[in-house]
Each structure stands twice: as C-alpha cells, then as structure tokens.
Structure 1
C-alpha cells in the first residue's frame, strides 16, 4: 500500500512514512492510493474475531510495511488499557443501538486511535533512533487522549493547544494534571479554530517542522483515522447478527469530519452493509449545510454544551473532498486555495446528489440536546453525554426500518453540568476522574499568535 496527498504534491510513500509525516509536505492530507474492498468470504471470517483481532486484520490491509507480529503486539498493547473486555461494546437501548467508545483511559472515543498511535510512534522512533515533538490542537477530548497515549514514552515530547475557557473543566483537568515532563499544555486565548490554524500554519513552515521533528497527533494523521475504521466494522457485525439484517445506518456526532470520514472508509471497505452515515452537528453546522445544501461556508463559532464539536473549519473535510472531486488533486488544491481566500465553497447539483448517497445530516440545538438526554434517560435509564445526545437525536430523525447505531463518543461524567441540567443530577463519576481537582496543574497561557507558540515549542522541544 502506498500513500499520496490530496493535493498531489508528494511522491507515493509507505505507511510508516505517513505516521511520521502527519500533514503532507504540500499542505494536503494523506490518503491511500486505493481503498481495498474485502470479499464476502473475508467479511464472514472477520465476524467471529475479537476487537483486537479485527483491528489487526483491518490495519494489516493498510500497514503492510510493519511485520505482522509487531503490528499484532502494538494493537494488543493499545487495547490492554481499556476497562471493558469487548473494548467497544454495542448495546441496544430502546429503538437505537449505542456503540460505546468511552472505555479507554480518558473516557473518550479518541483513546481508541491514540492509544494505538502512541505505541506506533514509540515503535517507529526507537526503530529509527529518532526523536519527535508532537504538536496538536484540541477542542476537548483529543488533547487528553493524545497526552495519555504518549505520556512518559521514549523520544517524544507533546505540545497540546486548547482554547482557554472553551473546553469542559474535566477535559482541562485531564490534560493539565498529567505530571510527566514530556507533556506541555498550552491554553490559547482564542477559539479552537485559532488553535487549529496555528498548528496547521506551523506544520506548513517546512523548515521549522524539519528542525524540530514535528509530528501530528490530530486527526490529520492518517493512522488515527485508520484505527477508527475498525469500530464501524465491529459494530456492523454485532448488529446485523443480532437483528438478522443486511444493512445498518450510523449516526456520528462530528465537528472535524475525522470520525465520520472513518465511517465513510468502512462503508467503502465492506461494500454493501452501511447504507448511509448520519452526520450530526450542533449549532456549528457548516457540515450539515454542506450535506443538505452544498453550502460549505464559514460562520462564527458558537460555544455550546457539546464543546468538542464547536468547530467551523473541519480539518478532515479535505479527505472526503478528494473523493467527491473524482480523486483529482488539482481540483482539490484549487478548491482549498479558494476556501482559504473566501471562506466558502459551493458545489454542483450533481456533486450534492453524490454526497447524499453517502450522508444524511441534521443540526441539533442545545435545547434539543438537553431534551434528548432527559427523554432518553426517562425511557431507558441510560445517561448520554451531550455529544452522544446530538448523535442520538439526529439518528432518530433518520430512523427507518434499518437499525440505527449511534456513536457514544464520551462518558457522561466528562460533562456533569450539562447532564445535571438535563436530568437533575450529575452522572456517577468513574474512579479515573476522582480527585483530579486536587492535583497540581501544569499549563502555559499564550495569545493566539503563531510566533508565540513557535517560540515556546523551540524552547522546550527535544532535538
């Protein structure tokens, strides 16, 4: 398997190179030169595998330059830290299935990719006798999951930017109370989009990137998206076996398009089976407007009770754009240049029709989110976090005879204020969240300025 850039400006590279490169050197995002579609016989054999076994089989299709035994060890080590024996259990609640993705060390879906990616980084750096400085931005859960994925690991420092005052208190504590000296938390005086813009700008400074051996842990890193493909296929198997059906739909709360893009890849890999993906947004609805109207245009970022989705610029959108524009890098490059200049993209009726074969979409307000948490709890006794509630509410809007699988992206205890507002009490707090408030914090506040962040990284990087 070889990898290319959405913008066509790099020579094809093997999987290991994609992990360390992160963002492609031409400013594009990395994709495989083809998406394998597995046979019906292979799918039948996969159905009986454990989660770790399935992960190994799926990843093997794309990571063919890592010896099988080494890849198997990386996968098994990644998921040994999860608290549930099934890693990602799928449970039926009322008329909908819930894919629980919050059983990792930071209680968020991003652990599934980042526990694997942390192991992979360390493996490659030791193999090559290299050092890396990871630079990433978070709107909530990515930061803590990335930090827990690489804390204390050899040859790695990590710098995580988050918007000051715009992540939940627990999310902030999970990041800033980690004592390992290779972890640096930067509270940026701005929005998540400011954080993301700073990170992308620094990666585009190729001299700086090379000098300080920068690596990406955000969902611009291909390996992270790839690891997320697995749980779509896993949940598909669980539900078709239980319901005795051939097709399902998934509802995915998303702001950055990374998680739902993994679902799109899963849809392509297994062929028929995932009928469509429901793209669920909060009031920050750029992606819903894209799916429903072909309008991909910037608006103001609105702060909501589902802060991980408070995003206007979806960093993974370019990957889907590549396929929408018939895998023509020149068209992608032209579209992204136009977007950077104007803040908007428009699509033809033919292109919108193509999008609607893959996606359905709805924007869910905070009022609807709280109402969904309350009504779902009343009917099923199950507590949803506000992000999952956005996905469940959108899922119900498009529920038909097919089973609907909603992704539960975080444990409700990470958002106690929103849950209490909805059901009158805070959710039960898992052991891993107890006592965080008493731990010392390590955080640096910086203005939303590229040069200030570069200066801090230069002073603290491993070289």
Structure 2
C-alpha cells in the first residue's frame, strides 16, 4: 500500500511517510493509491467481532506488514483503548421506538470521537519515530475537540513536540481546560483571537515552506493526516454489521455531525472498502458550506465563521472537500487541482455535473439551527431520558425530521444511525441552555481541571501569527535527530 496526493504531484509514499506528514508538497493531501475490496465472506466473518478486534482486521489492510507488523498493530490497538470509559469502546443506544440508533463514539478519555483514531495514530507515530530516532513537530489547529485528543495521544513522547492552536473564546470550558492545563515539556498551546478557519491560515502557510517542514519534521494529526481518516472507517463498518446483521444488501443511513468532513471522507472509504450501502448524511449547523455545496454544486466561502454551541463544527472551509472531490472524480488529480485553484483564487468552485450526480447516489445533507438543536436536546431528554451534546443533536434532529417526513433516506430502512460525536458533559452550558432535566455527570478524571494552572499563550489580533508559529516551532523542537 502506497499513498498519493490528491493533486498528483506526490506519489508512492509509504505509510510511515504518510502519517509523518501534513499537506503534501504539491499542496494536496494524501490518500491510499487504491482501496482494497473486502469480500462478502470476510464481512460475514466480522459480524461477531468486537470493535477492538475489528480494528485489528481493518488496519492491516492499509498498513503494510513490512512497515508495522500485524502483531505490532494488535499490540497498539490493545493499548489504545485501555482507558476508555465503556468496555465496548463504542456503543449503540436506541431511542425508544423511533428506529434511531445513537452510535456513541465518544467514550475516550477526552469525551469525543477524536480519541478513537488518535489513540491508535499517536502510538503508530511514536513507534515509527522511535525506530528512526527522529523527532517531529506536530501542528494542530482545532475548533474544539481535536486539540485535547491530539495532545493526549503524544503527551510525554520524547519523539514528538505538539503545538496546538485553538480559537479563543470559541471552545467550551472543558475543551479549553483539557488543552491548557497539560503540564508536559512537549506540549505547547496557543489561544488565537480568531476563528478556526483563521488559525488554519498560518498553519497551511507554514506547511508550504518545504525547507521548514524538512528541518523540523512538521506533520499534522488533524484529519489532514490520512491515518486519522482511515482509522475512522472502522466504526462505520462496525455499526453497519451490528444494525443490519445478515442483510448485507440493506441500505443504512448514517447521520454525521460535520465540520472538516473527515468523518464523511472516512464513510466514503468504508463504502469502497466493503461495498456496503452506507448512505452519508452531512448534518451541519449555521456554518453550512457543505450543505450549500451538496444542494447547489457551488462550494463558496460566503461569510466568516459563526460561533455556535456546536463549536467543533464551526468551520467554513472543510479541507477534506479535496479528498471527496478526488473520490467523486475517480481520482482525477488534474480536475481536483483545478477546482482547488479556483477556490484559492476566487473563493469558490463549481462542481461538474457528473460529480454532483455521483455524490447524490450516497451523500446528502441537512442544516439544523441553534433553536432546533436546543429543542431537540430537551425533547430527547424528556421523552427518552437520553442527553445529547449539541453536535449529536444536529444529527438526531435531521434524522427525526426525515422520519416524520418519510424522507427518502429512512423510508427504505427500518433504522438509521446518528453519530454521537461528543459527550454532553463537555458542553454543560448548552445542556443548561436547552433546559435538559436529566442529570449529566462529568467523569471523575476531569475533576482536577478547574483547579489546575492554565499554560496557554496568546496570539492576538494584529500580531503576525505565522511569524509567531515559526518561532514556536524553532524554540520547541531542537534537533530532529537523537
């Protein structure tokens, strides 16, 4: 298995090279050169597997034995989930007789789905670096949840320094404290006076400086990193097999809270890997560029990011759109590059009709407002004694609306899955605003956070953030070789 850029200028990278990188040198992002196809016989054999054991079957399909052996993968997977809250790692919960299943993917230490992939990816990165005896600097821009999960995945590593930028005042208190209170010499956190899209600009510019990238071993474990996206395939397949059982021809709609579109991309790969009819519904908040793109074919950055209670989705430029275009165009790198060049120069691109038609076969979208999120959180709490976070409420509201209106996605299926991407305990202000009456208990492991010293630094408006980031890289990193 090798990895190529979406724009065609970088080909043949190893798995190790791919997970130790950020943007490709040609400005694109990496994907597997091909997606293997799993037979129906193998899928049947997977039906009884736990989530952990399914990871052990799927990951080797993308990681060559010559780079990380199957025994090593098994060991990494076993260690990755030892401190997850739920023994099953992920869980399916049913909402009464609604035929809605809640796919809980938030049982990791930081309370968000990012823990699933990053717990594994962090250990893969550490293994590779220890063999090479080489240090890297990981750059992470976060809209809320990725930062803390990324920090946890490499905290204390002698091989990786991590620099995290988050939008000041636009994350929840717990999200902030999980990042800013970490006391480790390899962890550096910056509060940026801007939006998540704003802070992505200096990060992208730094990655374009190939000399700097090579000198300091810059890489990313956002969903820019192909490992993040590949590892997120697992829960799509796990939920499909649990819900659909023996009927592998069945259509399963999956409602997905959507920000940078890494989850949607993982769903595309899961479909190609298995041939299963997984329908992907991108559910967005007021930052609705994905919805507008799927509805009109025009991908246009129309406004600044609007802060919402579902802050991990407050993104106007989801960078995984480039991977989606690659798959929808059957790997037409020239077309992908042309469309992304249009986006850079004009602030928009127009999707060719053939790509729109192909997307419509398995991908749709829904938009949910703040008022609708709040009312859904309260309704689900009152009727089912189940508390949703504001991100998960977007998926549930979209599914309930489709159910009530006999939407095409649900009329052909007995049930659907709504991904619950974060625990409501991370968003207590939203829980209170929604007037949820069911008690929400924060994990005991978070109790020390409010009394811990915060260690983040500031990037203020008017300052040269790129210059500050470059200086932070140089100060934090030191030599690339040990």
Q: Shorter-chain TM-score: what band?
A: over 0.9
Partner Cα separation in structure 1 for residue 446 and residue 201 of structure 2: 31
Give the secondary structure class of the aligned counterpart of 2:232: helix
Paired position in structure 2 for 1:454: 470
State the 1:278 CA deviation: 0.8
Query: TM-score, normalising length from structure 1?
Result: 0.97
- Matching residue of 1:291: 294
For residues 396 and 129 of structure 2, the distance between their equivalents in structure 1, rounded to whole angstroms, comes to 40
How far 1:19 moved relative to its partner? 0.8
* Contact 2:186–2:476 (CA under 8 A) maintained in structure 1: no
Aligned-pair distance for 1:373?
0.4
Q: 1:366 aligns with which of 362, 366, 370?
A: 370
| Structure 1 position 268 matched with structure 2 position 272 | yes
Q: Aligned pair count?
A: 462
**Equivalent-residue separation in structure 2 for 1:242 and 1:393 (angstroms):** 29
The RMSD of aligned alpha carbons is: 1.5
8 A contact 1:420–1:427 mirrored in 2? no
Could you tell me which residue of structure 1 aligns to residue 45 of structure 2?
45
Native 8 Å contact 1:257 1:317 kept in 2: yes
Aligned to 1:416: 428
Per-residue CA deviations over 1:67-107 (Å, capped at 9, x if unaligned) read 11111111111112212111101111132101111111101
Cα distance in 2 for residues equivalent to 1:246 and 1:447? 52
Please name the residue that 1:93 is paired with: 95
1:159 to 158, 163, 171: 163
Query: 2:120 matched to 1:116?
Result: yes
Change (3 A) 1:201 1:244: closer
Structure 2 residue 397 is matched with structure 1 residue 379? no
Distance change >3 Å, CA 245–CA 84, structure 1 → 2 = farther
Deviates more, 1:245-254 or 1:103-112: 245-254
> Cα offset for 1:433?
2.1
Cross-structure match for 2:441: 428
State the SS of the aligned residue for 2:419.
Answer: strand
1:28 alignment partner in structure 2: 28
Determine the structure 1 residue equivalent to 2:19. Answer: 19
Are residue 150 (structure 1) and residue 154 (structure 2) matched?
A: yes
Which aligned pairs between 1:99-248 and structure 2 lie closer than 5 A?
A: 99-241=103-245, 246-248=250-252
Query: For residues 357-396 of structure 1, what are the alpha-carbon distances to aligned partners after superposition, in whole Å with 9 as ceiling and x for unaligned?
Result: 1211111000000011011111110000000001111222
Partners in 2 of 1:164 and 1:216 — Cα distance? 21
How big is the shift at 1:244? 9.7
SS in structure 2 at match of 1:21:
coil
Structure 1 residues 243 and 321: alpha-carbon distance in aligned structure 2, compared to 1, 3 A threshold: closer
Shift of 1:8: 0.5
Bigger shift: residues 192-201 or 244-253? 244-253
Aligned counterparts of 1:398 and 1:450: Cα–Cα separation in 2: 44
The corresponding residue for 1:5 is 5
Counterpart for residue 76 of structure 1: 78
Cα distance between partner residues in 2 of 1:200 and 1:150:
22
Secondary structure of the structure 1 residue equivalent to 2:190:
strand
> Cα deviations across residues 160-191 of structure 1 (Å, max 9, x unaligned)?
00011111111000100111111110111111
1:330 to 319, 322, 334: 334
Of 347, 353, 358, the match for 2:357: 353
The 1-side partners of 2:428 and 2:153 are apart by 24
Aligned residue number for residue 400 of structure 2: 396
1:257 to 261, 276, 300: 261
Structure 1 position 247, deviation (Å): 2.5
What SS does the corresponding residue of 2:171 show, helix, strand or coil? coil
Offset of residue 406 of structure 1: 0.5
Q: TM-score, normalised by structure 2?
A: 0.93
Question: For the residues of structure 1 that align with 2:333 and 2:239, how far apart are their CA atoms?
Answer: 33
Contact 1:31 1:319 in 2 (8 A): yes
Which shows bigger deviation, 362-371 or 233-242? 233-242
1:446–1:453 CA contact under 8 A, matched in 2: no
Per-residue deviation, residues 333-376 of structure 1 (Å, max 9, x unmatched): 11111100111111233322211112111110000000110111
**Greater shift in the superposed pair: 108-117 or 330-339:** 330-339
Contact 2:377 2:436 in 1 (8 A): no
* Distance change in 2, residues 1:416/1:39 (3 Å): same
Aligned mates of 2:168, 2:443 — CA distance in 1: 25
Alignment partner for residue 341 of structure 1, among 339, 345, 363?
345
- Runs of at least 4 residues of structure 1 off by over 6 A? 242-245
- More divergent stretch after superposition (388-397 vs 102-111): 388-397
